[in-house]
Protein backbone atom coordinates (compact mmCIF):
# COMPACT_ATOMS: atom_id res chain seq x y z
CA UNK A 1 0.00 0.00 0.00
CA UNK A 2 2.78 2.45 0.91
CA UNK A 3 4.54 1.81 -2.42
CA UNK A 4 1.33 2.56 -4.30
CA UNK A 5 0.83 5.82 -2.42
CA UNK A 6 4.44 6.79 -3.07
CA UNK A 7 4.00 6.10 -6.77
CA UNK A 8 0.90 8.30 -6.87
CA UNK A 9 2.75 11.07 -5.04
CA UNK A 10 5.68 10.77 -7.45
CA UNK A 11 3.39 10.99 -10.47
CA UNK A 12 1.69 14.14 -9.11
CA UNK A 13 5.07 15.66 -8.31
CA UNK A 14 6.39 14.91 -11.80
CA UNK A 15 3.22 16.31 -13.37
CA UNK A 16 3.57 19.56 -11.43
CA UNK A 17 7.28 19.66 -12.32
CA UNK A 18 6.43 19.29 -16.01
CA UNK A 19 4.00 22.21 -15.77
CA UNK A 20 6.77 24.24 -14.13
CA UNK A 21 8.96 23.46 -17.13
CA UNK A 22 6.41 25.10 -19.40
CA UNK A 23 7.01 28.32 -17.49
CA UNK A 24 10.77 27.80 -17.68
CA UNK A 25 10.42 27.48 -21.45
CA UNK A 26 8.41 30.69 -21.69
CA UNK A 27 5.04 29.05 -22.31
CA UNK A 28 2.19 30.54 -20.35
CA UNK A 29 -0.59 28.62 -22.06
CA UNK A 30 -2.29 29.32 -25.33
CA UNK A 31 -5.51 30.55 -26.83
CA UNK A 32 -7.41 29.61 -29.92
CA UNK A 33 -9.90 31.63 -31.84
CA UNK A 34 -13.37 30.28 -32.50
CA UNK A 35 -13.49 32.60 -35.52
CA UNK A 36 -10.39 30.96 -37.00
CA UNK A 37 -11.84 27.50 -36.44
CA UNK A 38 -15.14 28.58 -38.04
CA UNK A 39 -13.23 29.88 -41.08
CA UNK A 40 -11.39 26.59 -41.42
CA UNK A 41 -14.71 24.79 -41.63
CA UNK A 42 -16.26 27.38 -43.96
CA UNK A 43 -13.35 27.00 -46.36
CA UNK A 44 -13.70 23.22 -46.32
CA UNK A 45 -10.24 22.73 -44.91
CA UNK A 46 -11.77 19.75 -43.15
CA UNK A 47 -13.88 17.14 -44.88
CA UNK A 48 -16.32 14.52 -43.60
CA UNK A 49 -13.56 11.91 -43.85
CA UNK A 50 -11.53 13.87 -41.30
CA UNK A 51 -14.19 13.10 -38.72
CA UNK A 52 -14.02 9.35 -39.29
CA UNK A 53 -10.90 9.01 -37.13
CA UNK A 54 -11.10 11.32 -34.12
CA UNK A 55 -7.42 10.91 -33.17
CA UNK A 56 -6.29 11.80 -36.67
CA UNK A 57 -8.67 14.76 -36.72
CA UNK A 58 -7.26 16.08 -33.44
CA UNK A 59 -3.73 15.67 -34.77
CA UNK A 60 -4.65 17.50 -37.97
CA UNK A 61 -6.41 20.28 -36.06
CA UNK A 62 -3.29 20.62 -33.92
CA UNK A 63 -1.31 21.52 -37.05
CA UNK A 64 -3.00 24.90 -37.17
CA UNK A 65 -1.39 27.72 -35.23
CA UNK A 66 -2.56 28.89 -31.86
CA UNK A 67 -1.49 32.00 -30.02
CA UNK A 68 0.97 31.19 -27.24
CA UNK A 69 0.95 33.47 -24.22
CA UNK A 70 4.48 34.51 -23.30
CA UNK A 71 6.10 34.31 -19.89
CA UNK A 72 8.58 36.92 -18.69
CA UNK A 73 12.27 36.23 -18.08
CA UNK A 74 11.89 36.60 -14.31
CA UNK A 75 9.30 33.80 -14.29
CA UNK A 76 11.50 31.66 -16.50
CA UNK A 77 14.52 32.21 -14.28
CA UNK A 78 12.52 31.46 -11.14
CA UNK A 79 11.19 28.26 -12.72
CA UNK A 80 14.73 27.15 -13.57
CA UNK A 81 15.85 27.85 -10.00
CA UNK A 82 12.83 25.93 -8.72
CA UNK A 83 13.69 22.98 -10.97
CA UNK A 84 17.14 22.72 -9.42
CA UNK A 85 15.77 23.15 -5.91
CA UNK A 86 13.17 20.43 -6.45
CA UNK A 87 15.80 18.17 -7.99
CA UNK A 88 17.94 18.58 -4.87
CA UNK A 89 15.00 17.94 -2.56
CA UNK A 90 13.32 15.02 -4.34
CA UNK A 91 15.38 12.15 -5.75
CA UNK A 92 12.65 11.32 -8.26
CA UNK A 93 13.16 14.78 -9.82
CA UNK A 94 16.97 14.87 -9.87
CA UNK A 95 17.37 13.41 -13.37
CA UNK A 96 14.39 15.32 -14.87
CA UNK A 97 15.73 18.55 -13.36
CA UNK A 98 19.20 17.94 -14.80
CA UNK A 99 17.72 17.22 -18.24
CA UNK A 100 15.52 20.30 -18.10
CA UNK A 101 18.40 22.55 -17.07
CA UNK A 102 20.65 21.06 -19.72
CA UNK A 103 17.99 21.80 -22.37
CA UNK A 104 17.44 25.29 -20.96
CA UNK A 105 21.08 26.16 -21.67
CA UNK A 106 19.94 26.69 -25.28
CA UNK A 107 17.92 29.77 -24.33
CA UNK A 108 19.07 30.82 -20.81
CA UNK A 109 22.64 29.55 -20.72
CA UNK A 110 23.98 31.54 -17.75
CA UNK A 111 21.01 30.86 -15.48
CA UNK A 112 20.65 27.20 -16.45
CA UNK A 113 24.38 26.52 -16.09
CA UNK A 114 24.47 28.11 -12.62
CA UNK A 115 21.60 25.95 -11.39
CA UNK A 116 22.88 22.83 -13.12
CA UNK A 117 26.18 23.24 -11.25
CA UNK A 118 24.26 23.62 -8.00
CA UNK A 119 22.27 20.47 -8.78
CA UNK A 120 25.38 18.47 -9.62
CA UNK A 121 27.48 19.57 -6.63
The string of pLDDT tens digits covering residues 49-65 is 877 888 888 777 777 76
Supply the pLDDT for residue 121: 87
Which of helix, strand or coil describes residue 32? coil
Number of Cβ within a 10 Å radius of residue 86: 20
Residue 61: CB partners within 8 Å, gap ≥ 6? 46
- Report the C-alpha gap between 108 and 87 in whole angstroms: 18
Helix extents (H) in the chain: 2-24, 34-42, 54-61, 73-89, 91-104, 109-120
Tell me 64's DSSP state: S
Supply the pLDDT for residue 16: 92
Supply the pLDDT for residue 65: 63
The domain limits of the chain are: 11-26+71-121, 29-70
The model carries a pTM of 0.70
pLDDT in single tens digits along all 121 residues of the chain:
688 898 899 999 999 999 999 899 888 887 877 887 788 788 888 777 877 888 888 777 777 767 778 899 999 999 999 999 999 999 999 999 999 999 999 999 999 999 999 999 8
Amino acid sequence: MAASQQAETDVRLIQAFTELMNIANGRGGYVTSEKVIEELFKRSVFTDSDFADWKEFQKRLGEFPVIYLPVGLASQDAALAAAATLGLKYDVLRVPAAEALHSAKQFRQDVAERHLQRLNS
